[in-house]
Structure 1
Amino acid sequence: MEFQTTKTQLSQRATVRIKKGMGRSLKAGGAWIYDNEIDIITGSFTNGDLALIEDYDGFPLGTGFINTCSKLTVRMMSRKKDAVIDEAFIEMRVRNAWEYRKAVTDTSSCRLIFAEADFLPGMIVDKFSDVLVVESLALGIDRFKQMIVEKLKKVLAEDGVIIRGVYERSDAKVRLQEGMERYKGFIGEPFVTKVEIMENGVRYLVDVEDGQKTGFFLDQKYNRLAVQNLCRRIRPDRVLDCFTHTGSFALNAGLAGSREVLGIDASRLAVDQAAENAALNDLQNRVHFQCADVFDLLPGLEQKGETFDVVILDPPAFTKSRNSVRNAIKGYREINRRGMKLVKDGGYLATCSCSHFLTPDLFSKTIREAAGNAHKRLRQIEYRTQASDHPILWSADESYYLKFFIFQVCEEP
């Protein structure tokens, strides 16, 4: 650590003072303070406590959680110098998050709490029908976890939404950076952890216990609908869905009347669940799934002369840090080049990146380079981001991560 920690009894709450010239992101609306931005910490504290935040000259900047185990040392909870972070405050934050969702999205299944974008840093809560899945990623907010769950139940019940079970999926590696153990398990009474939901007219079984992250990627809800609408208009003969996970894009294409859909994923668990979802929607005769590495499979399909009317690329994040962006670009460029080569002349490509560190400009540049390498011309149909229940908080760049394009792919004239 580059900052000094002084423990005194001068105040009941510790104070974090920022170095002169530092904290530009925070002052512009950001939610984090890194260890190298801090000059001194005064007062007694335990990691996870709330601390007062001051500029170098003592000007108050708000209140945040402190954790010296992490390079991300402070997560802001309020910009008000006199904020009282108590039960009423937590209920206000939870209520505001629910009111926002009611205004902007279908709430049958949605993200209820999106961490810093809902001013509850490090806390994620997804709603799948009548089940909540909680992911706690920061030491400070973890202390409020039970209270947040209870307040959510209360606020939803006021609108007649009764939650029958809560499952915690705090098993992400990032918890280790906070000095926390990875954990998953029930909060309250146990229940059957496969939950049926419906989205865009498609039925899914969501495995909240063993599925990826919280069990289902709600952020692509309206991007999946965009693919469904495209396929309904063009009625494609063949659709290829790469990195299909539990089959969501493939099933939207199948529901829209596509004659033959193939979904590919490297996870046997995901492929089995995707096949189960296809049967749930009576699409098993037209929507099929294969367990394979996409990077290995696509060159083989190209060599066989296979082509598709629509190719969908929904890969996992190839980079989770700035240090690995260069290698990630190579991966995105390669997968898009391969995908474009499999699209029939005049067909369509849906492609996305869920990595925050790959900026929209950088992703666009990577796709452009892939098109050049594949000798294809692209006509952009749509550009989209994450669903509105994953709000993008301006100045908090980490909240803007999903980029999604639909192109028409043409041979070079």
Structure 2
Amino acid sequence: MEGAAVVSRRAVQRLRGGHPWVFRSDVERRPSQTAGIVPLEGPDGAPLGYALWSPLSEISLRRVETDLSRTPDAAWWHEKLRAAIARRAPLAGEANAYRLVHGEGDGLPSLVVDKYGDVLVIQLLSAGVDAWTDAIVSSLVELTGCTGILARNDPAARGREGLPREVKLLYGEVPRTVEVVEHGVRYLAAPWDGQKTGAFLDQRENRVLIGSLARGQALDCFAYHGSFALHLAKKADQVFALDVSAPALARVHEHAERNGLTNIEPVEGDAFDILRAWYKEGRRFDTIVVDPPAFAKTKSAIDGALRGYKDINLQAMRLLAPGGLLFTASCSFHLSRGHFFEMLQDASADSGRAFALRAITGQPLDHPELITVPETGYLKGALLEAMS
């Protein structure tokens, strides 16, 4: 086919296995056009569908369509976005903030769309999808009735695609903060400059889980703006929200007031140091959440990350009162589920205590993880009970 990208036999096998990526080394003939959508062919000329084309990226092609009769155009984008949004219908009664498009998980590689109330925050993370910005924005406005769309195009992935890293208003107006209502809890998201696209939407169901079980003295480690702490405070007697950032803790205080909660105490400091000090002081907690940032941002960082995860979980296990509950999580993609649970086993053994596994958690409905595309999954969590 004229203008088609021809890929190697190795790439064909990968595509047949359900993974949409083709790496630069597997492109046998580059398409002549600039970034966008191009036809795909195998080395024998057999058509393979259509893919997003990124001329400068290590991931050169991302397949988006296998049906040769459906040439991707503006109408195609509209239908794909409509289907992704429809999958989130069950969430509308639970929260006003959730992910509408999860990249490869929704068959739309390198595109992220998050909803915060009446506004959307999007990330266009490849040159191929960036070329379709206007069509994507137009469809999102029509499908959602949003009042504003902000592009949080500041991740490092954009630089690897030869694209500018920027935060840019694409449509309407987007305020500096938006109130999120999540299972009755209210907090502020910061679309322009907050973590990720403004808040940590992927932990929504986990916050509800541990919040429903919380009791006594509770501790939220790496609290950031207190999303876990707010849920814990509904049932716990007292919640300590621990974070190294004073500005983040000021937002925790603001969120507590917004929810009429008087039992949250912000604590500023390094979680590793403070948990060790509290253990020496003989303090104990009935409910603990350990939700650290990604310690392993690259594959080479795994060994160091495992030491960090084990250390903080060991300190939390030592602080947990008998019968207490620990919810712990990792958002590091490079840390596999196997590594995560081996780490918890090692921490439990070193603590000298017995812990029962009460629940294993993953990603919520709005962050679908495809079993043939490991890159769509990164979040793993465990609920543990101290048996001794």
TM-score band by shorter chain is over 0.9
1:50 has 2:37 as partner:
yes
Could you tell me how far 1:107 is from its partner in structure 2?
5.7
Residue aligning to 2:70: 83
Distance 2:339 2:155 in 1: 27
1:163 has 2:150 as partner:
no
Matches for 1:298-317 after TM superposition, within 5 Å:
298-317=275-294
Partner of 2:329: helix, strand, or coil?
strand
**Structure 2 residues not aligned, in runs of 5+:** none
Q: Is the 8 A contact 2:95 2:183 kept in 1?
A: no
Select the residue among 378, 397, 400 that pairs with 2:374: 397
Q: Is the 8 A contact 1:101 1:107 kept in 2?
A: no
Matches for 1:278-317 after TM superposition, within 5 Å:
278-283=256-261, 285-317=262-294
CA 1:21–1:87 in 2, change beyond 3 Å: closer, same or farther?
Answer: closer
Q: Is the 8 A contact 1:312 1:349 kept in 2?
A: yes
Residue aligning to 2:135: 147
**Structure 1 residues not aligned, in runs of 5+:** 1-9, 157-161
Higher mean C-alpha deviation, range 214-223 or range 49-58: 49-58
Residue aligning to 1:190: 173
Distance 2:322 2:181 in 1: 34
Select the residue among 94, 97, 117 that pairs with 1:129: 117
Q: Is the 8 A contact 2:119 2:174 kept in 1?
A: no
Could you report, residue by residue, the CA deviation over 1:130-169 in whole angstroms, capped at 9, with x for unpaired residues? 111112211111122232222122122xxxxx32222221
1:26 has 2:15 as partner:
yes
Could you tell me how far 1:229 is from its partner in structure 2?
1.2
Residue aligning to 2:315: 338
CA 1:190–1:261 in 2, change beyond 3 Å: closer, same or farther?
Answer: same
Could you report, residue by residue, the CA deviation over 1:176-223 in whole angstroms, capped at 9, with x for unpaired residues? 111112110322333422111210110111111121111111111111
TM-score by structure 2 length?
Answer: 0.95
Partner of 2:387: helix, strand, or coil?
strand
> Aligned-pair RMSD on alpha carbons?
1.7
Matches for 1:237-316 after TM superposition, within 5 Å:
237-255=216-234, 257-283=235-261, 285-316=262-293
Q: Is the 8 A contact 1:336 1:367 kept in 2?
A: yes
Q: Is the 8 A contact 2:150 2:167 kept in 1?
A: yes
Q: Is the 8 A contact 1:195 1:205 kept in 2?
A: yes
Partner of 1:192: helix, strand, or coil?
coil
Structure 1 moving runs of 4+ over 4 Å: none
Partner of 1:81: helix, strand, or coil?
coil
- Identical-pair percentage: 32
Q: Is the 8 A contact 1:170 1:184 kept in 2?
A: yes
Distance 2:189 2:250 in 1: 12
TM-score by structure 1 length?
Answer: 0.89
Q: Is the 8 A contact 1:262 1:287 kept in 2?
A: yes
Distance 1:108 1:351 in 2: 25
Q: Which amino acid aligns with 2:43?
A: Y
Q: Is the 8 A contact 2:74 2:135 kept in 1?
A: yes
Q: Is the 8 A contact 1:219 1:387 kept in 2?
A: yes
Could you report, residue by residue, the CA deviation over 1:334-371 in whole angstroms, capped at 9, with x for unpaired residues? 11111111111221110011112211122111111111
Distance 2:222 2:201 in 1: 15
Q: Which amino acid aligns with 1:32?
A: W
Higher mean C-alpha deviation, range 89-98 or range 101-110: 101-110
1:15 has 2:2 as partner:
no
Residue aligning to 1:113: 101
Distance 2:22 2:242 in 1: 40
CA 1:394–1:190 in 2, change beyond 3 Å: closer, same or farther?
Answer: same
